[in-house]
Every structure is written in C-alpha cells, then in structure tokens.
Chains A and B, each alone.
Chain A
Amino acid sequence: MKTRVLGLTTIVTLWPLTVGAQQPAPLTPRDSAAHALNRLAYGPRPGEIERVARAGVLRWIDGQLTPDKIDDKDLARREREFDVLKYDRGDLATLYTEVQRARQERKRMGDTAADKPDDSPVAVKGRRFAAQVQQLAVVRAALSERQLYEVMVDFWTNHFNVYVAKGADRFLTPDYIEHTIRPHAMGRFEDLLIATAQGPAMLFYLDNWESVAPGASPPFPLSARRRGRQGVRTAPQGINENYARELLELHTLGVDGGYDQHDVIEVARIFTGWSIRRPQQGGDFEFHDWAHDTGDKQVLGVEFERGHGMDEGIRLLKLLANHPATMHHVGRQLCQRFVNDDPPDGCVDDAVAAWQRTHGDIREVLRAIFHGPDFWAAANVRAKVKTPLEFVVSAARAVAADPDTTPRLAQVVARLGEPLYLHVAPDGYPEREDAWVNSGALLDRMNAAVALAAGRLPGAVVALDSVAPDTVDVQHLIAAIDDGILGGAMSQNTKRVISEQLSDVRDPVLARALAIGLAIGGPEFQKQ
C-alpha cells in the first residue's frame, strides 16, 4: 500500500514535467481525496474528504475496487424497506398481468379515457413499485459505502439501457437491474454482455424475443390466437434486426467499429430463437430451437457454422466482448465517465491495455484509469458537469440526507431531465455536459438545491448540523461549507454573494439553510 501512495505523489509531481507548457498546481492530499470522491463516488459526505485524505486516497480507491469487502450494513437495512425487492420476476409478472387484465377490462367496459389514471388496487401497487425502483437507485447511490460499485451500476445501466415503460419491461426491469446488471457491474465484461443478451428485459426491449428465422413456426399454437380478434399478436414471421444493430453499435464495437449492414443481418440470424417465456410463466430467458436460423452465418469475416443453436450466440458474444473495437469503444466511454467529456487518448490506451491483459476484467480496467496520469491531471479536476442523478445524489450526500422509500429524490432527478430507466433510446443517458447544461435545467437545479437545504423535500431528512454549526458568524459558516461541501473550491465571488445574502438574516438556522442552498445551487457544485 505504501508504494502506491508514493506512486501517486510521483505522478502528481511529475505530471507537469511530462506535459510541459501547462503549470497546474499539484494536488494536495485533500484535493486528491475530493477529486476521487467526486468521480469514483457521488461526492463527499460531511467530513469524508478529510477521512479519505487521512487514510490515503489510493488505499481508498483500492478498497472501492473490491466492493465485496466493504461492509454496507446501513444500506442493507434501508433496502429491506423497499417492498419491491421482496418480489421476484414471477411475482412482478403476476402483478403486471393483473394490471393488464384490469386495463383490458376497462377498455371493454367502454372506458375510453385510457390515459386517465387507473385507480384500481393493482394499478396503484404497480405504480408504487415503479416509483420504488427509481428511488432505490437514488438511495443506493446516496447511502452505499460501495460508491464506485454504484457508479458502475449506473454506467452499465445506461450502457445496456432498457426502457421500463415499454410493455413487459415494466416488470422485467427490476429483475434486470438486480440480477443482470448488479452482479456483473465489476466483474468481466464478457459475463456482463452475455447476461444482458439473455436478460429478458433486453430481449423484450430490443425485440429479439420475437425474431425468428423466416418460415419458422412454433410447434404449438400461441395462446394469444385463442383470444378473439382484439389485441391479437400474430406469430412472429421473420428476423428483427433491432438487437443485433444496437449490440454492435452501442454495446460492443461502436458505430465506427468496422461492421456493415450485412453483419447486422448475420448477427440477427445468429440470435434468432433467443427469446423469453410468456409473462404468465415468469418471463425467463428461453432458447427456441424451432425459431433458430439453421444456415451458416458470417460476422466480421468469422464463420459461424450451422447447427450449433444457442452456442452460436454465446460464441459471437465472446468474440465481440474481446474485440479490439469493443475495448476501444467501451474504454473510451469509461474514460469519458471518469476523466473528461473528451477523453484523453492516453487514458483510452491505458484502459485498452488493461482490458487486453486481463481479458476484460472491469476492475482492472478501472484501476488502470485511476492510476493513470490523466485521471489526476489538474486540467481534468472539476472539469466535468454533474448529470442530474450525480447532482441530486451528491447534494443529498453533502447535507447527509437520509432518503427513505418515498420517491421524492427520484422525482427531482426526473424533473432535472433524467427520469431513471425512462430513456427511450438504447444509447442510455448521455455523459457529456452539452446534454445537461441549459438554462431551464440550471434553474431547476437551483430550485432543487434551495428546497433540499431548507428541508422542503419530504422523504429526505437533512442533517445540516453535520455540515456547519447554526452560527451567526457568517465567515465561519462559509468556511465550513466551502470545506465540507465544495472541498475548498468556493470562489471569492460565491463567498461574497453568500455573505451579502446572509447580512440581514437574523435567524441562524435560516441563514445556514440559505447559505447551503446557494452553495449547492451555485456554479461550483455543478462541477465534479
């Protein structure tokens, strides 16, 4: 451990020499801790910068890279309050089919206002669970000690995006997060890729579940055929390219990864038969031999000989997971997430080298990024704007909020433009600041900051005492906020404005809430 700490010092002091012209001030241990907490975590909680700096930032990073060894009892206790976690996919499927049946019933009864909220008990329960699923993501991000792990869960959730409001994904998505994304978020990319390919939520979202070889027909009649004319889903009759295309473009090779339309079709043929059981049967992954294309296929010049059924797809996923274009594409996205919206080539090279060396061990790829000079370069510190999720969670952490199962914080995230699991397109929420910084969204951030600090967000009890004392000594208050929330990055202007605003506020409790609201809604806190 000691050598690593020395290693950081060396990197930090040597970096300006290797780059030449620029002369950034070297990072102090506190700066380094604040930077690491901003990027590998959802920002510091009160006192955390100091704790990480004292323990050694590289030691803390190494700890974050082995999340299983981090005790997370408090979160576990809070998770138990989320009823939705007590429901497995089968239970949720049952609930979903009940809601569907109730809706069909309303339609039959001539209730044409189908967009009017359904207030039947099952529908209310369904909506409550949907809200819980979003809030759970916010609560985990805010409370977990395994911060880097939660950051990676968010990264992969967007990389392998599904849209919770699309039909069966209403009940498939919670299971997808719990059993597809989370178990593999810091494992091997190949395992994660295969898990998503077999994830019922993904199979449904990108239509692969009903992609069948032309001319293939099921050995049994689909039950839907028996249900009269209305709402009949006719048997699928051909390949569907949707998953194949996004698999290549977004999940693996990247749009410039060297494939063409022919490859897309061949990939779609390989995945014919990768399907799911009906909701009534739990919606598990299921390979349908009858639907599989029995011809030879060729992808990126590699032959996939006929007759290997589901193994053709597994072989293809392994090929894609370890393809140089995939390493570059995903490595670049990781550098964009952790280092800079315009990722430095050096960072990407380090990530690719680690990927090659470890066959896509995500932890080692991350380690390479965190140990690289680009991560610590002063030009990359506070160079990224927080996404709405990052903003809300970091704000909650900054004021030691203790969010419960009510969806208030998730609603704020949605209001700021990032309703969780509701990005329609398969590319997931964007990482670049251009997507998030606009005048309307900024005003909303200011509103959210003021409301949070004033304790006006029910369900997110704040503990301002842990940030700063309720004192009438304005300078003392500002120093405490700068130190604990902004890691010393508060500008002179911000200090001046806050101090002016407090000049006529006599109530120390109000003054503190206002000061913290302004600090969190202000420009410095938007950066990480």
Chain B
Amino acid sequence: MTISRRVFVKSGGIALFSVGLDPLFLARAALGLDRLSPPSTALHRPILVCLFQRGAVDGLNMIVPHGDALYYRERPRIAVPGSDVVDLDGYFGLHPRLAALKPLWDSKRLAAIHAIGSPDATRSHFDAQDYMESGTPGVKATPDGWLNRYCQHDREHEETPFRAVAFGPELPRILAGTAPSLAIADLQAFGLRAPRPAARDRLTRAFEDLYAGSATGLLSTSSQEAFQAVQTLQRVDPTRYQPANGADYPRGRLGKAMLQIAQLIKADVGLQVAFADVTGWDTHVNQGASEGQLAARLAELGQTLTAFAQDLGDKLDDVVLLTMSEFGRTVRENGNSGTDHGHATAMLVLGGPVNGGRVLGHWPGLDPANRFEGRDVAVTTDFRDLFAEVLARHLGASDLSPIFPGFTPDPMRFPGAISA
C-alpha cells in the first residue's frame, strides 16, 4: 500500500503527516501564526506565472516551421500557408491568430522554445500532464508538484496566503504538496457570504473556530490557508479592479484568470507563483489551418497574453510567464483533418526578464529519420531544463535537486530563456 502524504494519523490531538513527518510542514504548522503579518512591499519581487495548455497543443501550428517544405507535404489540409504566417526568423513564424504577440517578440520580451517535451514516451494526456506537473517523468508515485516543491524548498520568500495561487476550482497537481497554496475560482466570490458585513465576519469567525479546533489533515491546512486569504483579500477589494493601459482581456475562463493574476500581482499581496490552465487543444478532428478550431484557441491565447502584458505595464519587468503543454502532436495530419498525440511541442516564455525575440532550443527538423518513433517531433530539450532555468535564473532558486528529484539540471543545457 502506498502511503500518501495526505494520510494522517491522529495522535494526541496533533495531526502528523506520514512520509517521514515532513519537518518543513511541522515547522510551518508551528510557525503558522507568523504568516498573519502583512506582506512586505518589496519593489522587485520576481513572479512566475505558469499557463498549462491542457490537451497537447500542436506546436507545429503554433510556432510554424514555414520554411520547411516537409511541413507542407505532411499537412496538406491543415498547414498554415506561408503567406499567412507571421514570420519570426525566416524559418519559424507565429500562427496568424497570434499576431498580437509580435510586438512583444520584437521588443525581446517573448521567446519560444521548440522541440521541448518529456523524456517519457507516453501519449496518454493524463500521464503526460501528471509528469509535467509532478516534474518527474515516468514516476507516478511522486506525491507533490514541482511548483509546490519549489515553495517548500525556497524558504527565503516570505510566506503569505497568496504566495502560490492556482486559478480554477481545483488545486492542480503542479501545486499539490505541503507548501500552502490556494485554489481560487473567482477572487470576487472568495470568502463567506452573508447579507451584511457584520454577519459575514461573524460567520467567518465561527467557521474558522470550527476548523481550527476540529479539522485534521488536509482539511486543517486548507482551512487555515482559506481564512488567511480571506483576511488579505478584504484589504485588496477585487470588485473595484480595472485593467490598465487599455488592456482588453477576452471573455471566458482564461481571460478572467489572467486578469485576476494581474490584479494580484499589482496588489502586491506577496504572489510569487501563479497557475492557470486552458483546455481545448486536443485537436484530433478538423483542426483547421489559418482559421478554424485551433486558430480560435490561439486567438484567445494571443489576446490574453497581450492584454496581460499591457495591463502589467512596468510590472512585467518582474514577471515571467511560461506556457506548457503535455506533449505535441503528430507531424502528419490524420484521417480526420486533425492530429493525433505526438511527442515534442513548443512553449512560450513572456516577460521582462526573458531573452526574447528568438526561437530557442535545438530544432531536430521534420525529416522522418530524425523523428521520434518515425512520426513525431523529437524532444531535444527536456522540459525540466526550461523549468529549472526559470526557477534558478528568475526566481533565484539555489538548489534544484529537491525540486526535480532524479534529475540533475545542468546550466549548460538550459535553453537560455532568461537574460543573464
């Protein structure tokens, strides 16, 4: 039987977690009250935003190798015509519906990494997402996510309820773990609801009291995090937020999540890592080319990222946004004018500290001889090398080995996404 960290044994009224009774957790629990102090207003606190494109985005139609005749030969119905592509370097170009991102590319705040992915060969969405979030390809038993492990091991950052926030109803795997992290579906609706503020405050205190005294295990830690966050949000008042600089977020879940992330960044509540995800990339059927299904998803992505950068203004200097997706898609289109599960894909890195205006990574080409299993773009950059680079060079993580167990990040292999 595998014992989860979440399994607890009640002993003398204290909840002790298994897996070696995580000392960091115990330390945190013991020091729990310290976290009630207001966050400092450090001016340049580096922030990482991760955006997961769930469903495996077709990297080849996102960052298009329009200089390669093979691309057009393999995709007679879904290739993006060269005349539509927004050229980047003569060989690669942006999908036309990402054109809004071109100014960020030109100002060197946006880079792409191609042929990136997992060393694990799985083509299962669930396994591959799991591996990308746990940070341990091929190992299912890893109990926590790599973003959470970063928070566990970087102790210098001040603990605030909003240090690590995922936007969505569920806490994603990437943030699962002993370090406190919040899942927020909507900032405006966060907290207890009652007709009058006095009634709301009383209800909040009552439930806080209930959980503080009776909850165990995960219910206990999660409820503590909840009530601290409620306190902080009362000061911020998210109902009054207006995006700056004319930023226009697209309607829908993604736009709303990114707007709220921008809001938390600007409110200076101590946010260090944020996570959002967006679905709709599993384009097995009628994927489309310059227009169509994938194009619509990319348009939403491009507009969202553009709005986010505009809204943040100078604050973008402290922020790195990283997109990721569990794998890429087949080089050749399938029988349904779509693409099936492949291997390597492309990721985007956006922000002030980014070494932008370049397609990074080693491009293996589309030649069948260089493909993975003869059909997919080969992985030449292990996703952990990119993630590790961002953690080390942007967030300043000093020891990466506990964050990516079983993997030794080597700066020589970093793709160079962050300016030195």
Contacts and interface: CB of A to CB of B under 8 A. Distances in A.
Nearest to B207: A446
Given A115-B252, A241-B340, A439-B226, A425 B190 contact: no
B285 to A, nearest CB: 6
Contact of B3 (A210, A242, A342): A342
B20 interface: no
B227 to A, nearest CB: 8
A261 interface: yes
Contacts of B219: 385, 437, 442, 523, 526-527
A438 B126 contact: no
Interface in A397-443: 415-417, 424-425, 427, 432-443
Contacts of B223: 439, 442, 523
Nearest to A214: B335
B335 A497 contact: no
B336 interface: yes
B334 A240 contact: yes
A263 interface: no
Given A234-B77, A442-B226, A523-B210, A241 B341 contact: yes
Contact of B218 (A234, A385, A425): A385
Contacts of B251: 115
A440 B124 contact: no
Nearest to B252: A115
Interface in B295-336: 334-336
A522 B54 CA distance: 34
B229 interface: yes
Contact of A210 (B121, B191, B285): B285
B169 A416 contact: yes
A441 B222 CA distance: 9
B176 A434 contact: yes
Contact of A523 (B4, B171, B215, B341): B215
A439 B183 contact: yes
A342 B7 contact: yes
B1 A437 contact: no
A249 B192 contact: no
B376 to A, nearest CB: 11
A279 interface: no
A242 B284 CA distance: 9
A234 to B, nearest CB: 6
B279 A443 contact: no
Interface residues of A, number: 61
Contacts of B176: 434
Contacts, number: 164
B207 A518 contact: yes
Interface string B170-211: 110000100001111100001111100000001100110111
B210 A522 contact: yes
Main secondary structure of the interface of B (DSSP, over half): loop
Contact of A497 (B55, B213, B340): B213
A440 B210 contact: no
Contacts of B185: 415, 417, 440, 444
B127 interface: yes
Nearest to B143: A434
A437 B218 contact: yes
Interface centre among B127, B192, B210, by most chain A C-beta atoms within 10 angstroms, is B210
A255 interface: yes
Give the residue among B213, B285, B335, B336 with the most A Cβ atoms within 10 A.
B335
B363 to A, nearest CB: 25
Contacts of B252: 115
A46 B274 CA distance: 44
A238 interface: yes
B99 to A, nearest CB: 18
Contacts of A417: 169-170, 185
A169 B284 CA distance: 16
A237 B123 CA distance: 21
B6 interface: yes
A341 interface: yes
A10 interface: no
A255 B230 CA distance: 40
A236 B286 CA distance: 10
Contact of A425 (B2, B125, B169, B340): B125
Contact of A440 (B183, B209, B211): B183
B226 A443 contact: yes
B248 interface: no
B214 interface: yes
A261 B123 contact: yes
Contacts of A500: 209
A233 B286 contact: yes
Interface string A134-176: 0000000000000000000000000000000000000000000
B337 interface: yes
B335 A236 contact: yes
Contacts of B123: 245, 261
Contacts of B335: 210-212, 214, 236-240
A443 B126 contact: no
Contacts of A415: 169, 185
B192 A447 contact: yes
Given A438-B183, A438-B222, A440-B185, A518 B284 contact: no
B214 A491 contact: yes
A3 interface: no
B268 interface: no
Contacts of A342: 1-4, 7
A16 interface: no
Contacts of A447: 192-193
A250 B236 CA distance: 44
B225 interface: yes
A173 B95 CA distance: 35
B214 A523 contact: yes
A245 B210 contact: no
B214 A522 contact: yes
B4 A341 contact: yes
A501 interface: yes
A335 to B, nearest CB: 11
B5 to A, nearest CB: 9
A493 interface: yes
B229 A518 contact: no
A115 B77 CA distance: 27
A501 B206 contact: yes
A233 B335 CA distance: 11
Given A241-B341, A345-B1, A417-B170, A437 B222 contact: yes
A240 B182 contact: no
B124 A255 contact: yes
Nearest to B3: A342
26 contacts: A115-B251, A115-B252, A212-B335, A236-B335, A245-B341, A261-B121, A341-B6, A342-B2, A342-B4, A343-B1, A424-B279, A425-B54, A437-B218, A437-B222, A438-B181, A438-B183, A439-B229, A440-B185, A442-B211, A443-B226, A447-B192, A450-B203, A494-B210, A518-B207, A523-B223, A524-B214
Interface of A: 115, 207, 210-212, 214, 233-234, 236-242, 245, 249, 255, 261, 341-345, 385, 415-417, 424-425, 427, 432-444, 446-447, 450, 491, 493-494, 496-497, 500-501, 518, 521-524, 526-527
Given A343-B1, A440-B190, A491-B213, 13 more contacts: A115-B251, A115-B252, A234-B337, A342-B3, A415-B169, A415-B185, A438-B171, A439-B223, A443-B190, A446-B192, A491-B214, A496-B213, A523-B215
Leading 4 A-B pairs by shortest Cβ distance: A238-B335, A493-B213, A237-B335, A439-B226
